[in-house]
Amino acid sequence: MKNKWMSMNKKEKLRWGRNVVQLLFFVLFPALSERTVKWLQKLKYLILVFVLLLCYMGQGEQVGKNSPWTFFSMITAGRFPMLSYAVSAVLLIVILIGMAVHERFFCQFLCPMGAVFSLLPELPLFAMKRKAQNCISNCQLCKKRCPVSVKIGEEPYRRGECIRCGKCMASCPRKNIMIH
């Protein structure tokens, strides 16, 4: 093992390290159940309400100070903030871990802007349609490919969680999903 490691170049060592980290994450954080995902998706609305309340109460600077992106931008600027940014740092760590284990973890579960944008697809203009009668039996490929767990089962369907990525349309072998 030692000889093998020594014979690896830098790129191979990095790839090996990345695989080990990914494996560890998948062992420590198993895939979230559909029910948990649905529950977590509601969190961003609570965060949005909380942020709006703070702004309404004249505490807008607290939002900026405790934002994980404040901590991130300080680090990228070469500044290492003190303990007063602890909340911001913890949030950033949670987001990084979450993003490593679940696709679109931040925008799906925590982003207040994601909550705002999720209201748009509820408009009739954004509805998508699936011709269920043309479906291959037991296919469900569109649903499996959806990165934000939209239940693609009704027609027309419009879900706030839909990010209009088009993966459901692209994955359908029968080109069975279209903009309504």
**Smallest distance from the beta carbon of 137 to ligand SF4, in angstroms?**
9
**Smallest distance from the beta carbon of 54 to ligand SF4, in angstroms?**
30
**Smallest distance from the beta carbon of 21 to ligand SF4, in angstroms?**
27
Q: Would you list the DSSP string of 98-145?
A: HHHHSTTHIIIII-HHHHHHTTGGGSGGG-EEE-GGGSPTT--HHHHH
How far, in Å, CA of 141 to CA of 139, rounded? 5
By CB under 6 A, which span of 18-26, 37-45, 94-102, 144-152 interacts with ligand SF4? 144-152
Helices (H) and strands (E) in the chain, counts: 11, 2
- Residue choice 44, 102, 130, 158 for contact with ligand SF4 (CB under 6 A): 130
By CB under 6 A, which span of 40-48, 58-66, 78-86, 141-149 interacts with ligand SF4? 141-149
How far, in Å, CA of 170 to CA of 168, rounded? 6
Closest to 25 (Cα-Cα) out of 82, 77, 96, 85: 96
- Residue choice 40, 139, 155, 180 for contact with ligand SF4 (CB under 6 A): 139
Binding footprint of ligand SF4 on the chain (CB under 6 A): 130, 135-136, 139-142, 145-146, 148, 150, 152, 162-168, 171-172, 174, 176-177
